[in-house]
Amino acid sequence: MKIFYSEEHRQHYPPFEIFDGGIRVPYYENPDRMDRILAALKGMAWAEFSEPEEFGLDPILAVHDEGYLNFLTSCWGEWLASDPEVAASPETHAFLPATFALRRKARPTSTTVRGLGGYYIMDLSACIVAGTYKASLTSANIALSAASSIVQGLSSAFALCRPPGHHAGKDYAGGYCFINNASVAANWLSQKGKTAILDIDYHAGNGTQDIFYERADVLTISIHGDPDFEYPHYIGFADETGADAGLGFHQNFPLPKGTDDADYLTALDEALNLIRGFAPEYLVLSFGADTFDGDPLGTFRVTRAGFAEIGKKISGLNLPVAIIMEGGYANEALGDNTRTLLENFK
């Protein structure tokens, strides 16, 4: 299996995030996550590591708003220029807005970086530092490289992306995500053949839903913690099934706290049947290991044996699949859990 990876992700390492209740905590989505996965995969005879190709901005602008991408490009530099205290010790700071736009009334008319930040950032975990934009571009290229390799004939490829992407919408960052890697890859693949996205991260793929919600050419499915109790709270409900041309081409499977292997696999079987009915030529799998029992940001009880069965069932679709890394924060188990899933696709 080809595994696309770059050390560029290390440039994105915010010194903190703001957690529930306003508590400042160390950044959960950190480079140690990649180190654990690399350590688990580098000893595998079937793992072939490759640097990503460069695809330019066109595939990204095909799914993301240009004004939003311009904000990601310029945010850090503008913030440094506007605040002497930050410029004096940038390594201890991360950009986060203090106000957030209400979409139904808001317009991105502010000329200040703080105002633009509140429009283009959804929450207090999408922290921007000096290397965020470059790391995010590389992460998107990693996903595109995996997509390209399955078009060229590989049965599967793994995009070891960081930052992750599935919470990034058309014009906003959120949940550690800045560019929606899976959506960029799926949109690119959709020009080559019919494509489906299956998101098995613990949290709802709100950004992916946002991007494809009115489209019928890409089927999108997300299995996740019910937003009645779980992030992102405002999207990911079962009755959200697409709109306009996309009506019927999106499906959410919100699951309760404590979901175990058996209940998760039941939902997965339903999702796989929907994919079979859609009959795509390509599959993009947004893989988050935060469904694992004991993940600090999840409430499910999926075991390592569960990951093996999940991988087995998805590979049973016999579709070329680009596997895109999303979340997973039980770092000590992350590498083994990721390897367990991937072994079914090699």
pLDDT tens digits, residue range 10-37? 999 999 999 988 899 999 999 999 999 9
- pLDDT over 70 at 103, yes or no: no
Confidence of residue 58 (pLDDT cuts 50, 70, 90): very high
Name the catalytic one among 9, 167, 224, 250.
Answer: 167
pLDDT in tens, 250-267: 999 999 999 999 999 999
Contact 171, 67 (CB under 8 A): yes
DSSP state string for 148-171: HHHHTT-SEEEE--SS--TT-BTT
Contact 224, 252 (CB under 8 A): yes
pLDDT in tens, 34-53: 999 999 999 899 999 999 99
- On whether residue 107 sits in a domain, the answer given is no
Please give the helix or strand (H or E) that residue 264 lies within, else none.
Answer: helix 261-278
- On whether residue 87 sits in a domain, the answer given is no
- On whether residue 160 sits in a domain, the answer given is yes
- pLDDT over 90 at 99, yes or no: no
- On whether residue 93 sits in a domain, the answer given is no
Give CA–CA dist 80/82, Å, rounded.
5
At 101 the three-state DSSP class reads: coil
Mean pLDDT of 179-198: 98
- On whether residue 92 sits in a domain, the answer given is no
The percentage of residues in the chain with a pLDDT greater than 70, rounded to a whole number, is 99
Which range is least confidently modeled, 3-7, 17-21, 143-147? 17-21
224 belongs to the catalytic site: no
CB within 8 Å of 16: residues ≥ 6 apart: 24, 25, 26, 27, 94, 127
pLDDT in tens, 200-225: 999 999 999 999 999 999 999 999 99
Q: Is the pTM of this model over 0.95?
A: yes
pLDDT in tens, 159-174: 999 999 999 999 999 9
pLDDT on residue 104 = 64
* Conformational region of residue 196, where left means phi above 0, alpha means psi within -120 to 50, and beta covers everything else: beta
pLDDT on residue 117 = 93
- pLDDT over 70 at 233, yes or no: yes
Give the domain range for residue 318: 2-15+28-53+135-342
Give CA–CA dist 208/96, Å, rounded.
23
Mean pLDDT of 240-254: 98
Contact 24, 139 (CB under 8 A): no
pLDDT in tens, 60-89: 999 999 999 999 999 999 999 999 999 999
Q: Report the CATH number at residue 211.
A: 3.40.800.20
What is the residue whose two structure tokens read 């994105």?
A: 12
- On whether residue 333 sits in a domain, the answer given is yes
Total structural domains within the chain: 1
- On whether residue 306 sits in a domain, the answer given is yes
- On whether residue 100 sits in a domain, the answer given is no
The percentage of residues in the chain with a pLDDT greater than 90, rounded to a whole number, is 93
Mean pLDDT taken over the chain:
96
